[in-house]
Amino acid sequence: MATKGNGPTDPQEFINYVSQETSKMLENFSGNGAEDMFSQFTKSWTELATRSLQDPTLWMRAIADYQTAQFNLWRNLLTGNTTEAPVAEPERGDRRFQAEEWSTNPIYDYIKQSYLLSSKMLTQMAESANLSDQDQNKLEFYTRQFIDAMSPTNFAATNPEVLQQALDTKGQSLLDGMKNLLADFEKGRISMTDESAFTLGENLATTEGSVIFQNEVIQVIHYKPEGEQVYTRPTLIIPPSINKFYILDLQPHNSFVKYCVEQGQNTFLVSWRNPTSEQSNLSWDDLVSEGIFEAVRVTKEVSGSDKINTVSWCVGGTLTATALAVMAKRKDTSIASATFLTTLTDFSDPGDLCVFIDDYQVKQLEQKVSQAGFLNGRELATSFNMLRSNDLIWSYVVNNYLKGQTPPPFDILYWNSDSTNLPAAMYTYYINKMYLENKLVEPNALEICGEKIDLGEIKIPCYFLSTIEDHIAPWKATFKATETFGSEIEFVLGASGHVAGVINPASKNRRNYWVKGEQGQGADHWFETSEKVEGSWWPNWAEWVRRRAGKKVDAPKTLGSKENKPLEAAPGSYVKVRID
């Protein structure tokens, strides 16, 4: 088998080449690098081994159980015994071993079960390490990463689907895989979807509107009303600055922005600039003052309303919470109600991200960020993907590079690959003051825009939507806002995770959500006393905000105003800047 250029010339050479290049690419993709991942794994296991010498009982028991299981596995293989239950089986939801060869072919069945037994032994030993909380979390996380990376499905020689496809296509699948690998290597990231299928403004982010304001930090979009009337009090949407806003305006059937417009809301949205090294000095204060405060001012001026409602998501919600606390100090009542989607304000439990957050790792990354002037969005995206490595890394390595397949179009995965940088100054403040020090929940511990802030001084009605499977903003951590804010909070818990739980359109009306739990006695008590409601949470929120939206008036005939004239059509130019 021959390839162009300096590529491999036979299947085995291809397999070796894929392994080498994938390792290099993963190191390039990862914020800390694949090398650092294995360094962390080795460091954690070295400490575990050292401790085990003091009490070897754990190791002896785990190894004895493993040896017994391996003996039974070998016995079944050598005797051809197919009547007994498998010694080891994949966990429910594990899609790696779905091909029938993993069960019907004795060799592949043995490889699968042997891998699962080894995985179980490593996992049990890691979980029983009894280290400090931080070290324990890192040990378990990097053990999972190592286990996932070593799966036999990730190697052509031990994956029956890959070998069969290579035979069926006479090696063409391997050639296609090489082309995919080289293309992704050029991009510096793994392709998760057919990116040629999407264009912003054509089949993504298509809700009609205009950019009516821009500065160094944001563009503000005003969307065209669909009905003859709108509510007097407008809605300003504040997405996370860590992602592109169009996750809220994907396609017409799943666009939260379009849903707001359809509900008669006079809708505005913040589109954050994708910063470069030239914007390295943009601070948290700048994002509040030049971002949120300016967007609030423009929204009020264009709508003619002295009060507005806001909707914010993730770090956009954290920024909004600090802005509201500043406004409370200044007696500014411009925001009448605030909706927070999967937003952390108490960072005592940062979820699975805790494995990346300690003094040593943060200081290392700070040095890198300071030199570049920004936190590279690709590195951030890879860290998030590592939290679900089988689904978001290895499945694409197998399909794209070993099987030579092109991933199908998927709007959310296209957005997931469209990363955003963070300014060095803003990122450094965010990671230290929020994640490491958890200062936001301490009254008067932070000074934002010249004001010492206290979340307890926020008195406006708030709607908190969290999701039960969120691994980035755990719902029990977001629930703590009900104990620190000084306002009436409507807490709603949706099904699914950080993104899919939010983008759950009313038109599909899938999944479910929980409401009306008793507050004041912790998250668990709230859940025990809550009511489960079938379907999307969107109509529940629409009714909540409608009661705070004022009366109906004639919809504006034009977008913007005399002072804020349309500059360009939505989605605007800021969101189209890519970092490839």
- Are 573 and 221 in contact by the 8 Å Cβ rule? The answer is no
Residue 175: count of CB within 10 angstroms of its CB: 20
What number is the average pLDDT over the span 338-364? 88
Angle between helices 172-187 and 11-29 (to 10 degrees): 20
What number is the average pLDDT over the span 187-199? 90
Q: CATH for 209-376+419-576, among 2.60.40.420, 2.40.50.840, 3.40.50.1820, 3.40.50.410?
A: 3.40.50.1820
Question: Rounded distance, CA 198 to CA 79, Å?
Answer: 54
pLDDT digits (tens, 9 = 90+) for 492-516: 999 999 999 999 999 888 899 999 9
Distance of CA 43 to the CA centre of its chain: 27
What number is the average pLDDT over the span 186-202? 91
> How confident is residue 39, by pLDDT bands cut at 50, 70 and 90?
low
Closest CA to 491 of 512, 510, 513: 513
What number is the average pLDDT over the span 74-79? 69
What number is the average pLDDT over the span 424-447? 96
User: Pseudo-torsion of CA 76, 79, 84, 85, nearest 10°?
Assistant: 30
Question: Rounded distance, CA 413 to CA 396, Å?
Answer: 12
| Active-site residue (options: 260, 314, 449, 462) | 314
Pairwise pLDDT comparison (580 vs 433), residue with the higher score: 433
Q: Over 90: is that where the pLDDT of 398 sits?
A: yes
Q: Over 70: is that where the pLDDT of 286 sits?
A: yes
- Are 394 and 155 in contact by the 8 Å Cβ rule? The answer is no
Least confident of 57-66, 94-103, 296-305, 517-526: 57-66
> How confident is residue 187, by pLDDT bands cut at 50, 70 and 90?
confident
Q: Over 50: is that where the pLDDT of 21 sits?
A: no
What is residue 6's predicted lDDT score, i.e. its pLDDT? 44
- Helix (H) or strand (E) holding 23, with range, is helix 11-29
> How confident is residue 81, by pLDDT bands cut at 50, 70 and 90?
low
Question: Rounded distance, CA 280 to CA 173, Å?
Answer: 44
For the chain, give the percent of residues with pLDDT over 70. Answer: 87
What number is the average pLDDT over the span 222-226? 97
Task: Calculate the alpha carbon distances from 386 to 32, 356, 393, 477, 502 in Å.
Answer: 11, 11, 7, 21, 21
What is residue 493's predicted lDDT score, i.e. its pLDDT? 98
What number is the average pLDDT over the span 7-28? 46
What number is the average pLDDT over the span 560-567? 96
> How confident is residue 43, by pLDDT bands cut at 50, 70 and 90?
low
Q: Over 90: is that where the pLDDT of 33 sits?
A: no
What number is the average pLDDT over the span 438-447? 97
> How confident is residue 375, by pLDDT bands cut at 50, 70 and 90?
confident
What is residue 303's predicted lDDT score, i.e. its pLDDT? 97
Task: Calculate the alpha carbon distances from 282 to 213, 274, 287, 313 in Å.
Answer: 19, 12, 7, 20
> How confident is residue 73, by pLDDT bands cut at 50, 70 and 90?
confident
What number is the average pLDDT over the span 450-474? 97
Q: Over 70: is that where the pLDDT of 55 sits?
A: no
Question: Rounded distance, CA 72 to CA 92, Å?
Answer: 23
What number is the average pLDDT over the span 536-557? 97
Q: Over 60: is that where the pLDDT of 429 sits?
A: yes
- Are 380 and 419 in contact by the 8 Å Cβ rule? The answer is yes
Question: Rounded distance, CA 307 to CA 246, Å?
Answer: 25
> How confident is residue 559, by pLDDT bands cut at 50, 70 and 90?
very high
Question: For residue 275, is the peptide bond before it cis, meaning its omega torsion is within 30 degrees of 0?
Answer: no
DSSP 28-86: HHSSS-HHHHHHHHHHHHHHHHHHHTT-THHHHHHHHHHHHHHHHHHHHHHHT--SSPP
- Helix (H) or strand (E) holding 238, with range, is strand 235-238
**Range(s) of the chain covered by CATH 3.40.50.1820:** 209-376+419-576
What number is the average pLDDT over the span 386-400? 86
What is residue 478's predicted lDDT score, i.e. its pLDDT? 97
- Are 384 and 90 in contact by the 8 Å Cβ rule? The answer is no
Q: DSSP letter at 345? A: S
What is residue 22's predicted lDDT score, i.e. its pLDDT? 45
pLDDT digits (tens, 9 = 90+) for 86-108: 888 898 888 999 999 998 998 99
Beta 335-341 vs 308-313: how paired, if at all? parallel
Pairwise pLDDT comparison (282 vs 359), residue with the higher score: 282
Q: Would residue 272 be called left, alpha or beta, if left means φ above 0 and alpha means ψ between -120 and 50 degrees?
A: beta
Q: Over 50: is that where the pLDDT of 19 sits?
A: no
The count of residues in the chain is 580
> How confident is residue 534, by pLDDT bands cut at 50, 70 and 90?
very high
- Are 553 and 192 in contact by the 8 Å Cβ rule? The answer is no
What is residue 361's predicted lDDT score, i.e. its pLDDT? 78
Q: DSSP letter at 455? A: G
Question: Rounded distance, CA 393 to CA 378, Å?
Answer: 13
> How confident is residue 354, by pLDDT bands cut at 50, 70 and 90?
confident
What is residue 57's predicted lDDT score, i.e. its pLDDT? 66
What is residue 31's predicted lDDT score, i.e. its pLDDT? 41
What number is the average pLDDT over the span 43-67? 63
Distance of CA 27 to the CA centre of its chain: 20
> How confident is residue 376, by pLDDT bands cut at 50, 70 and 90?
confident
> How confident is residue 1, by pLDDT bands cut at 50, 70 and 90?
very low
- Helix (H) or strand (E) holding 448, with range, is strand 447-448
Q: Over 80: is that where the pLDDT of 342 sits?
A: yes
Residue 93: count of CB within 10 angstroms of its CB: 7
- Cβ-in-10-Å burial (0-12, 13-18, 19+) of 133 comes to exposed
What is residue 9's predicted lDDT score, i.e. its pLDDT? 43
Q: Over 70: is that where the pLDDT of 366 sits?
A: yes
Kindly report the backbone phi and psi dihedral angles of residue 563, in degrees, each rounded to the nearest multiple of 5, phi listed first.
Answer: -80, -25
What number is the average pLDDT over the span 319-338? 98
> How confident is residue 27, by pLDDT bands cut at 50, 70 and 90?
very low
Question: Rounded distance, CA 417 to CA 280, Å?
Answer: 23
What is residue 353's predicted lDDT score, i.e. its pLDDT? 80
Question: Rounded distance, CA 63 to CA 61, Å?
Answer: 6
- Strand runs labelled E in 293-420: 308-313, 335-341, 374-375
Closest CA to 87 of 67, 101, 61: 67
CA angle 565, 571, 577 (to 5 degrees): 115
Beta 308-313 vs 374-375: how paired, if at all? unpaired
- Are 255 and 248 in contact by the 8 Å Cβ rule? The answer is yes
Mean pLDDT of the chain: 88
What is residue 52's predicted lDDT score, i.e. its pLDDT? 57
For the chain, give the percent of residues with pLDDT over 90. Answer: 66
What is residue 11's predicted lDDT score, i.e. its pLDDT? 44
Answer yes or no: 314 catalytic: yes
Q: DSSP letter at 528? A: H
Task: Calculate the alpha carbon distances from 357 to 349, 384, 435 in Å.
Answer: 11, 13, 7
Provide the 3-class DSSP secondary structure of residue 211: strand
